[in-house]
């Protein structure tokens, strides 16, 4: 299947913004139940699970993971989840630790290298159905790729395939790209979300996090230098980016996996996606399309909110999952 937006809907910023515009009114109207999984001592992960009727073992499950500043109700999660459920999948919309409503049960900071949480949720879901697939967008895509590569030995065999959309597999290169002048509007939004999230987590955990550390932060990289890296045990933002990037691990993937990105993604240089070696087995399919922006991929599609990447993901998973 090919991605063919009209001529006036091409371009990185255009696609990124159109993706938001087309999906902005999506809501999750299907029944959902809370699935709470402990991934580490005192770390509990909240997911929203929507099950197909009947015996759960008869349907495959798709675990969805959001990006930076996202949550289980992020619109790309809703589009992909609704499309998957209509195709017969159980849908599990996972929150990173401290994100969204997960804050209420786990007021901790997430970061790009915490695939341990996704592995834990995968094990829980795999106990209910023998076929599980993973989908991650943006930062969640990095988690997905780390799970099927660096942490593949810990993943249950029931995880059959994975999809990563607009994943920052080279976090240092993506940080450099994000902070280019043309991306000021994205940086402003991300920084505001990060600072707000830190302040409320710090208020709930004053013994773990220093008050006011977020004050004066103006960029994502500064936030990572001042907050993410030290609290996650890294020496610096650069050390955090280097050790948390999925790219160097891609050659280790042994499950069918799709990496979907765009040449004009304003935050993820195409060269940073292409630079890493893939496994000789052919398990990984890497598609870098001429346009699509960052988690945009806005065009006519069967998926709600004109999120073409959701249809591409489900097509791939149906063939390999």
**Mean pLDDT of the 187-208 span:** 96
Residues 141 and 186 in one domain: no
Instruction: Quickly state the pLDDT bin for 111 (edges 50, 70, 90).
Output: very high
Specify if 280 maps to a domain.
yes
Under 8 Å between Cβ of 78 and 51: no
Which among 320, 304, 284 is positioned nearest to 84, based on CA atoms?
Answer: 304
Residues 164 and 193 in one domain: no
Specify if 1 maps to a domain.
no
Q: Which residues constitute the domain of residue 13?
A: 7-170+247-320
Residues 303 and 196 in one domain: no
Residues 181 and 155 in one domain: no
Question: Does 251 have pLDDT greater than 80?
Answer: yes
| Those residues with Cβ within 8 angstroms of residue 59's Cβ, 6 or more apart along the chain or in another chain | 51, 52, 88, 89, 90, 129
Spatial separation of the C-alpha atoms in residues 235 and 217, rounded to whole Å: 18
Long-range Cβ pairs for the range 218-223 (8 Å, 24+):
218/191, 219/179, 219/187, 219/191, 220/68, 220/175, 220/178, 220/179, 220/187, 220/190, 220/191, 220/194, 221/175, 221/179, 223/191, 223/194, 223/195, 223/198
Instruction: Among 211, 244, 277, identify where a domain stops.
Output: 244
pLDDT digits (tens, 9 = 90+) for 140-176: 999 999 999 999 999 999 999 999 999 999 999 999 9
SS3 content of the chain, % helix, strand, coil (to 5): 40, 15, 40
Instruction: Among 244, 265, 283, identify where a domain stops.
Output: 244
pLDDT digits (tens, 9 = 90+) for 2-29: 999 999 999 999 999 999 999 999 999 9
| SS3 per-residue string spanning 81-116 | HHHHHHCCCEEEEECCCCCHHHHHCCCCCCCCCCHH
Residues 107 and 212 in one domain: no
Residues 203 and 282 in one domain: no
**Mean pLDDT of the 245-273 span:** 98
> Whole-number mean pLDDT of the chain?
97
Q: What is the distance in angstroms between the CA of the first residue and the CA of the last residue of the chain?
A: 18
Residues 147 and 176 in one domain: no
Spatial separation of the C-alpha atoms in residues 128 and 125, rounded to whole Å: 5
Cβ neighbours around 31 below 10 Å, total: 8
Spatial separation of the C-alpha atoms in residues 297 and 165, rounded to whole Å: 10
Helix axes 12-23, 75-86, angle to 10 degrees: 70
Residue 180, both tokens? 């280019």
Residue 273, both tokens? 């996606």
Q: What is the CATH number of the domain that holds 78?
A: 3.40.50.1820
Specify if 65 maps to a domain.
yes
Cβ neighbours around 109 below 10 Å, total: 21
pLDDT score of 321: 67
Residues 41 and 21 in one domain: yes
Residues 29 and 161 in one domain: yes
Spatial separation of the C-alpha atoms in residues 148 and 3, rounded to whole Å: 26
Q: How many domains does the chain have?
A: 2
CA 88 → CA 44, 58, 83, distances in Å? 28, 10, 9
Residues 55 and 179 in one domain: no
Distance of CA 131 to the CA centre of its chain: 20
pLDDT score of 68: 96
Residues 225 and 293 in one domain: no
Specify if 43 maps to a domain.
yes
Residues 265 and 233 in one domain: no
Under 8 Å between Cβ of 196 and 294: no
**Mean pLDDT of the 225-252 span:** 98
Residue 78, both tokens? 């809703």
Instruction: Quickly state the pLDDT bin for 1 (edges 50, 70, 90).
Output: confident
pLDDT digits (tens, 9 = 90+) for 28-45: 999 999 999 999 999 999
Instruction: Among 244, 269, 289, identify where a domain stops.
Output: 244
């Amino acid at each position: 299947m090919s991605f063919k937006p009209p001529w006036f809907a091409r371009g990185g910023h255009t696609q990124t913004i159109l993706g938001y515009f087309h999906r902005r009114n999506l809501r999750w109207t299907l029944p959902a139940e809370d699935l709470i999984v402990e991934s580490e001592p005192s770390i509990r992960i909240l997911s929203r699970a929507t099950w197909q009727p009947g015996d759960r073992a008869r349907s495959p499950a798709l675990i969805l993971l959001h990006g930076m500043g996202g949550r289980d109700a992020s619109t790309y999660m809703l589009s992909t989840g609704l499309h998957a459920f209509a195709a017969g999948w159980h849908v599990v919309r996972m929150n990173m630790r401290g994100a969204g409503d997960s804050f209420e049960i786990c007021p901790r900071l997430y970061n790009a290298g915490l695939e341990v949480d996704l592995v834990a949720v995968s094990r829980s879901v795999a106990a209910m159905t023998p076929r599980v697939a993973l989908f991650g967008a943006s930062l969640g895509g990095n988690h997905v790729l780390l799970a099927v590569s660096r942490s593949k030995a810990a993943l249950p065999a029931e995880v059959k395939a994975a999809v990563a959309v607009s994943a920052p597999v080279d976090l240092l290169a993506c940080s450099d790209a994000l902070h280019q002048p043309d991306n000021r509007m994205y940086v402003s939004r991300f920084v505001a979300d990060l600072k707000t999230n830190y302040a409320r987590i710090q208020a709930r955990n004053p013994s773990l996090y220093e008050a006011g550390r977020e004050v004066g932060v103006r960029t994502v990289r500064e936030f990572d230098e001042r907050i993410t890296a030290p609290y996650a045990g890294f020496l610096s933002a650069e050390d955090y980016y280097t050790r948390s990037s999925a790219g160097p691990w891609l050659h280790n993937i042994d499950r069918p996996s799709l990496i979907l990105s765009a040449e004009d993604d304003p935050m993820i240089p195409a060269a940073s996606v292409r630079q890493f070696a893939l496994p000789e087995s052919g398990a990984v399919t890497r598609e870098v399309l001429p346009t699509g922006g960052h988690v945009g991929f806005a065009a006519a599609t069967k998926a709600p909110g004109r999120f073409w990447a959701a249809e591409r993901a489900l097509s791939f998973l149906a063939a390999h999952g």
